[in-house]
Amino acid sequence: MRIVVLAGGIGGARFLRGLMSAAPDADITVIGNTGDDIHLFGLKVCPDLDTVMYTLGGGIHEEQGWGRADETFTVKEELAAYGVGPEWFGLGDRDFATHIVRTQMIGAGYPLSAVTEALCARWQPGVRLLPMTDDRVETHVLIDDPDAPGGVHDPDAPGGAGRKAVHFQEYWVRLRASVPAHAVVPVGADQAKPAPGVLEAIADADVVLFPPSNPVVSVGTILAVPGVREAIADAGIPVVGLSPIVGDAPVRGMADKVLAAVGVESTAAAVAKHYGSGLLDGWLVDTVDAGAVDEVEAAGIRCRAIPLMMTDLEATAAMAAEALKLAEEVRG
Amino acid sequence: MRIVVLAGGIGGARFLRGLMSAAPDADITVIGNTGDDIHLFGLKVCPDLDTVMYTLGGGIHEEQGWGRADETFTVKEELAAYGVGPEWFGLGDRDFATHIVRTQMIGAGYPLSAVTEALCARWQPGVRLLPMTDDRVETHVLIDDPDAPGGVHDPDAPGGAGRKAVHFQEYWVRLRASVPAHAVVPVGADQAKPAPGVLEAIADADVVLFPPSNPVVSVGTILAVPGVREAIADAGIPVVGLSPIVGDAPVRGMADKVLAAVGVESTAAAVAKHYGSGLLDGWLVDTVDAGAVDEVEAAGIRCRAIPLMMTDLEATAAMAAEALKLAEEVRG
């Protein structure tokens, strides 16, 4: 079975571990979000691709969910001694090596997809990991800025008066999503092309899965690359997602903050309807959200309520198995 | 007193420590060799500038003479795990931070002289450290290459038959100067311009000193930047050097190998005459080479024999004091 998974970072990576356990013989292609890529210290950092690669390759810091196990921070400390930041982004020494190799290869002219393949030659993640695009896409978040032209934020002010756009990582990591997000913009996405292999993988797939990743800044950014949403919608294969919202709150992370920015309620049903029946065929919600099943099905999306907490590999594999089962039901 | 010093790496840096001790009130400008700069892992590495900066700034690995004290090698190990080398060049984690900052600044458009000044803002070396040039100059060494067109090396063969050029660091660090050097070429030097401040510092100086650095690949490369040799020769101020050769062998390093490439004997007198009386006014040789004093003076260069081993700060300061004393004698 050929499975395509649209993955963000931690949630996507953990789900993939469960999927590989549930379907050990499946041929899995992961289309990874690159909208949260960032240039730090002149190096190209791809947090989501690396989280998938490290998690499936056995190099991840398990408790933290991102970054390398057994990590040290000498380079970062030295950079701080030079007065060079940002200090709010935690790059460790082992992680730095990945970004140095990536940046060197990109500087030599290789596209990100080729670089990712080269990095995976070491990590052997057991899946084919593709960036959603080789082009530069950067998710920016529009927040209030009392210092911006236009003065103190006026919610009724036209345009961007009193607001500013910050890189997603600045919003997520530095500000910890503590201020309202007025808009989420994947800058450059409209001009981006799917990376080599992305559309082909979708066309060849038997099923497409959306892990319980952030529907706006992870899965949503991948779908914003022209051609990807259409390829999935038109592939004529089951598309099944798992809700990242359990009991009206994100399982982890701060997805509610960016859902608000796109006018979507933080509920399992609202996220399903945000994807829409034109894209999504099946949706899994947690048992605590069993009351949402009817609402989702009324929107034309097959829905089941199962335990959705990825507490360990066994629970996660069970979730993946349910997703594949729902896909077969949908295929009918 | 304003002193200009042309410095390579370890020898130059240690001499500078002695000079600062001998002349604590002097205003010292160091013109540093950049011919052994190398791009590694996509990062710009300036070994000689960094050795001076770390040595005078208190960050040097004292026994080794280069690199940072209390160093770790996590990044390098991770790069090797990716199969990315070279492994023969020992970049530590602390050192990597310097190269990351430098590369980021150069990528942002700052010239190397501005970058060096920014790095020195942290290290406070107590001297003004200038790269010899902001332009790219790379010292290459011509060695035998049985695989090159022309086959097995024939010493009488024309041109480069059976030879190849390698970066100085590859010759020095990887090959440890274990094969004959047929030529030493500072590639790019003919098109290079002295960095801002270099010619001005020479014009304003009261004395110019050549530490016991490598006369070919350190001091020689600096003098190869058009305008530098002429500025020193025409400044009308004493120019005094210290022999890096003691008892017909280099005090440290492998200067004899590259001296052979330029047809200069490994003797204290031959190096003085290689610089020449048109450039050099005074020359210090070690007491074991006292027999060379007459030969050097016959070549028009004032010469004294004193202990030239930089065994500790006191001995090095005494050498520097003798150099300044000889400069005053020459000034007359």
Query: In terms of domains, do A152 and A217 share one?
Result: no
User: In chain A, which residues have their Cβ closer than 8 Å to the Cβ of B107?
Assistant: 42
d(CA A311, CA A316): 7
A252: closest CA among A240, A262, A243?
Answer: A243
> What percent of chain B clears pLDDT 90, i.e. is strictly above it?
86
Task: Quote the pLDDT of residue B90.
Answer: 86
Closest partner residue to B41 among A76, A82, A100, by Cβ?
A: A100
Confidence check: pLDDT of B55 > 70: yes
Q: What pLDDT is stored for residue A158 in this prediction?
A: 52
Q: How many angstroms separate the CA atoms of A258 and A8, rounded?
A: 14
Residue bearing tokens 């458009």? B109
* Cβ-Cβ contacts under 8 Å, B72 against chain A: 72, 74, 93
Q: What are phi and psi of A24, to 5 degrees?
A: -65, -25
* B83 with A42: Cβ contact below 8 A: no
Expressed as residue numbers, the domain containing A154 is: 138-187
Q: How far apart are the first and last CA of chain B?
A: 16
The pLDDT of residue B150 is 56
B42 belongs to a structural domain: yes
CA distance B41 to chain A (A): 6
Cβ separation B96–A96 shorter than 8 A: yes
**Residue A249 has what pLDDT?**
81
pLDDT at residue number B107? 94
Q: Exposed, middle or buried by CB within 10 Å (0-12, 13-18, 19+), for B192?
A: buried
Residue B221 within a domain: no
Residue B330, pLDDT score: 95
Which of A78, A101, A121 has its CB closest to that of B94?
A: A78
The kind and range of the H/E element at B294 are: helix B293-298
Does a structural domain hold residue B100? yes
pLDDT band at A154 (very low <50, low <70, confident <90, very high): low
User: What contacts B234, CB < 8 A, 6 or more positions away?
Assistant: none
Q: Specify whether the CB–CB gap between A88 and A61 falls below 8 A.
A: no
pLDDT in tens, B21-36: 999 999 999 999 999 9
Give the pLDDT score at A248: 81
φ, ψ (nearest 5 deg) of residue B112: -55, -35
Compute the mean pLDDT over every residue in chain B, rounded to the nearest whole number. 94
Q: Which of A41, A81, A94 sits opposite B100 (nearest CB)?
A: A41
CA distance B87 to B64: 18
**Token representation of residue B276:** 């020449």
Nearest-angstrom CA–CA distance, A214 and B105: 35
A81, B122: Cβ pair inside 8 Å?
yes
Q: pLDDT category, A149, cuts 50, 70, 90?
A: low
Asked if B94's CB is within 8 angstroms of A75's CB, the reply is: yes
B82-100 pLDDT, tens digit each: 999 898 988 999 999 999 9
Q: Strand B245-246 relative to strand B249-250: parallel, antiparallel, unpaired?
A: antiparallel
pLDDT bracket for residue B205 (50, 70, 90): very high
Q: Is the preceding omega at residue A86 within 30 degrees of 0, hence cis? A: yes
E-only strand ranges, chain B: 2-7, 27-32, 38-40, 43-45, 128-131, 138-144, 163-167, 183-187, 207-210, 239-242, 245-246, 249-250, 282-286, 302-306
pLDDT given at position B155: 53
| B55 found inside a domain | yes
What type of residue is B194?
Answer: P
B234 and B169 in one domain? no
Alpha helices in A124-184 (DSSP H): 168-169
pLDDT beyond 80 at B157? no
Instruction: List residues in chain A touching B: CB distance below 8 A.
Output: 41-43, 72, 74-79, 81-84, 93-94, 96-98, 100-101, 103-104, 107-108, 118-119, 121-122
Q: Do B45 and B73 reside in the same domain of the chain? A: yes
Optimal mutation site among A101, A115, A120, A122, interface B, most CBs of chain B within 10 A: A101
> In this structure, are A98 and A27 located in the same domain?
yes
pLDDT for the residue numbered B73: 97
Cα of B108 to nearest chain A Cα, Å: 9
Partners of residue A59 in chain B, C-beta under 8 Å? none
The pLDDT value given to residue B278: 96
How far, in Å, CA of B80 to CA of A12, rounded? Answer: 28
* Identity at B159, one-letter amino acid code: G
Answer yes or no: is B159 within a domain: yes
Strand partners, A194: A133
B313 min Cα distance to partner chain A (Å): 28
Residue A70 and residue A201 share a domain: yes
Chain B interface, best mutation among A78, A91, A101, A122, by max B CB count within 10 A: A78
The confidence band for A251, taking pLDDT boundaries of 50, 70 and 90, is confident
pLDDT at A162: 82
> Do both B38 and B125 map to the same domain?
yes
Q: How many percent of chain B have pLDDT more than 70?
A: 96
Q: For residue A30, give the CATH number of its domain.
A: 3.40.50.10680
Q: How far is CA A311 from CA A14, A15, A240, A251, in A?
A: 10, 11, 21, 11
> Rounded to whole angstroms, how far apart are CA atoms B286 and B241?
12
Give the model's confidence band at B41: pLDDT under 50 very low, under 70 low, under 90 confident, else very high.
very high
- Show binding-site residues of A: 50
CA dihedral B77, B83, B88, B92 (to 10 degrees): -30
Give me the amino acid identity at B253.
Answer: G
Those residues whose C-beta lies under 8 Å from the C-beta of residue A316, and which sit 6 or more positions away, are: A14, A15, A17, A18, A21, A310
The residue with tokens 């190209």 is A44
Same domain, yes or no: B96 and B56: yes
Do B159 and B233 lie in a common domain? no
DSSP readout, A312-329?
Answer: SHHHHHHHHHHHHHHHHH
Q: In a 10 Å sphere around its CB, with 0-12 CB exposed, 13-18 middle and 19+ buried, how is residue A24 labelled?
A: exposed
Question: Sign of torsion, CA B99 B104 B107 B109?
Answer: negative
Q: Please, are residues A94 and B92 in contact by the beta-carbon 8 Å criterion?
A: no
Q: Are A122 and A243 within one domain? A: yes
Q: Which CATH number covers residue B92?
A: 1.10.8.240
Q: Do B42 and A81 touch (CB under 8 A)?
A: no
C-alpha span between A74 and B45 (Å, rounded)? 18
Pairing of the two strands B183-187 and B138-144: antiparallel
Strands A207-210 and B239-242: unpaired
Residue B17 has pLDDT above 60, yes or no: yes
Mean pLDDT of chain A: 94
**Mean pLDDT of the B306-321 span:** 97
Read off the pLDDT of residues B228-251 as tens digits, 9 standing for 90 and up.
999 999 999 999 999 999 998 887
pLDDT bracket for residue B102 (50, 70, 90): very high
DSSP B221-233: HHHTSTTHHHHHH
pLDDT of A157 > 60? The answer is no
Q: Of B116, B69, B121, which is closest to residue B95 (Cα–Cα)?
A: B69
User: Shortest Cα distance from A70 to chain B (angstroms)?
Assistant: 11
Q: What is the DSSP letter of A287?
A: G
Q: How far is A140 from chain B (nearest CA, A)?
A: 22
Asked if A97 and A77 sit in the same domain, the reply is yes
Q: Each residue of A60-78: pLDDT tens digit?
A: 999 999 999 999 999 999 9
Residue B206: predicted pLDDT: 98
Closest residue in B to A122 (Cα) is B82
ipTM of the complex in this document? 0.90
Q: Indicate if the pLDDT at residue A159 is higher than 70.
A: no
Residues B115 and B60 in one domain: yes
Q: In this structure, is residue B222 part of a structural domain?
A: no
Is residue B91 in some structural domain?
yes
Domain count, chain B: 3
Which amino acids of B are annotated as binding site, given as ranges?
50
Average pLDDT over residues A235-261: 89
Does B180 have pLDDT greater than 60?
yes
Per the listing, tokens 């038997």 go with A206
Looking at the predicted structure, is the pLDDT value of residue B153 above 60? no
| Cβ-Cβ contacts under 8 Å, A117 against chain B | none
Tell me the percentage of chain A whose pLDDT exceeds 70: 96
Do both B143 and B103 map to the same domain? no
Using an 8 Å CB-CB cutoff, list residues of chain B that contact chain A.
41-43, 72, 74-76, 78-79, 81-84, 93-94, 96-98, 100-101, 103-104, 107-108, 118-119, 121-122
CA distance B167 to B329: 41
Question: Smallest Cα–Cα separation from B85: which of A115, A116, A97, A44?
Answer: A97
Task: Report whether pLDDT(A152) > 60.
Answer: no
DSSP state of A206: S
**Quick check: is B219 in a domain?**
no
Pairing of β A43-45 and β A38-40: antiparallel
Count helices and strands (H / E) in chain B.
13, 14
Determine, for residues A101 and B122 on separate chains, whether the beta-carbon distance falls below 8 Å.
Answer: no
pLDDT computed for residue A218 by the predictor: 95
Instruction: With cut-offs at 50, 70 and 90, classify the pLDDT of residue B145.
Output: confident
Q: What percent of chain A has pLDDT over 90?
A: 86
Angle CA B229–B233–B234, to nearest 5: 115
Q: pLDDT tens digits, residue range B257-280?
A: 889 889 999 999 999 999 999 999
Task: State how far the Cα of A8 lies from the Cα of B277, in Å rounded to an integer.
Answer: 69
A vs B: CB pairs below 8 A: 88
From the list A78, A98, A107, which residue is nearest B97 (CB)?
A: A78
